[in-house]
């Protein structure tokens, strides 16, 4: 079992235009996942909702 006290998960978010055209990519990282009920493992999919405004 991996100690998730020091876990840092990296990924990418890609912007999609209103027309559905892929745009710029942004790198993100998640730290402090020890408070989550499920440990993220490499290649696990996650979904984000991002609001701008």
Asked whether 32 and 8 are in contact (CB, 8 A), the reply is: no
- Can you give the pLDDT at residue 11? 78
Look up tokens 């890609």; give the residue: 14
Q: Which residue has the higher pLDDT, 47 or 1?
A: 47
Question: What digits encode the pLDDT tens for the residues 6-37?
Answer: 566 677 888 888 898 998 888 877 765 555 55
Task: Name the nearest CA neighbour of 24 among 32, 16, 35.
Answer: 16
- Going from N- to C-terminal start, the domains of the chain cover 4-35
Of the chain, the end-to-end C-alpha distance in Å amounts to 40
pLDDT at 1 over 50: no
């Amino acid at each position: 079992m991996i100690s998730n006290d020091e876990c840092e998960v990296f990924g990418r978010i890609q912007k999609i235009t209103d027309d559905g055209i892929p745009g710029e990519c942004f790198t993100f990282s998640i730290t402090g996942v020890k408070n989550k009920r499920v440990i993220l493992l490499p290649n696990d999919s996650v979904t984000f909702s991002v609001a701008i405004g």
